[in-house]
Structure 1
Amino acid sequence: MKLKMRNISNLDTFFKVINQCDGAVELSLPEGGSVNLKSKLSQYFSMATVFSNGSIKELSLTTHNDEDSKRLIQYMVQGC
């Protein structure tokens, strides 16, 4: 499932939710391609580049598991 997430300000909590997911959670890159956010190396790389200002205005994620999609939607509804 493709998800648009907006206004993420707590990156620690965001990555805790990502790490709880059972399947891959892919970040779509603006120049094309994607990065699996379940990988610790990808998380560090993403934090250093995509999330360098401390908050995320908008990003596109792809999940491959319905429960993971529900988990991320619940995270967004409860507040970031």
Structure 2
Amino acid sequence: MMSPKMVELHDIDVPEFLKVLDSCEGEVYLMTRDGNRLNLKSKLCQLVGLTALIEGGKIAEAFVMCEKESDESKLFRFNLYKSGNPEE
């Protein structure tokens, strides 16, 4: 069952974001303003979805929904610390 909460991400470094996505255990979905949902565990969806959001090498704004709460927490921490490693 999917978590009803979405994580809003801002000013995200794409290579670091992709590393965090690869470490997620469940499915992670990019939610578009049009109501579309792209599975970010799929490399094709990453390419299609993230290309539309990238401005100047960073993701300006994105909404993601996770199947697992642990992945949701991981992405929330990533958004807060701007790194996959909170000690950095």
> What TM-score bracket applies, with the shorter chain setting the length?
0.7 to 0.9
The alpha-carbon deviation at position 58 of structure 1 amounts to 1.2
The count of aligned residue pairs is 79
Is the partner of 2:7 in helix, strand or coil? Answer: strand
- 8 Å contact 2:25–2:68 — kept in the other structure? yes
Deviation by residue 1:12-42 (Cα, 9 ceiling, x = unmatched)? 1101101110111100112222101110111
Long gaps (5+) in structure 1: none
Match of 1:56 in 2: 59
1:3 partnered with 2:7: yes
Moved beyond 4 Å, runs of 4+: none
Larger RCO of the pair (alpha carbons < 8 Å, separation 6+): 1
Q: CA separation in 1, counterparts of 2:40 and 2:69?
A: 17
Match of 1:24 in 2: 27
What residue ranges of structure 2 are gaps of 5+ in the alignment? 84-88
**Residue among 34, 37, 42 paired with 2:37:** 34
Distance (Å, rounded) in 1 between the aligned partners of 2:33 and 2:20: 23
RMSD value, Cα: 1.5
Q: CA deviation at 1:46?
A: 2.3
1:57 is paired with a residue whose SS is strand
CA distance in 1, matches of 2:81, 2:56: 23
Matched to 1:78, the amino acid is Y
**Partner Cα distance (2:53, 2:60) in 1:** 10
For residues 45-80 of structure 1, the C-alpha deviation after alignment (integer angstroms, 9 at most, x for no partner) is 224333264212211111110110111111112225
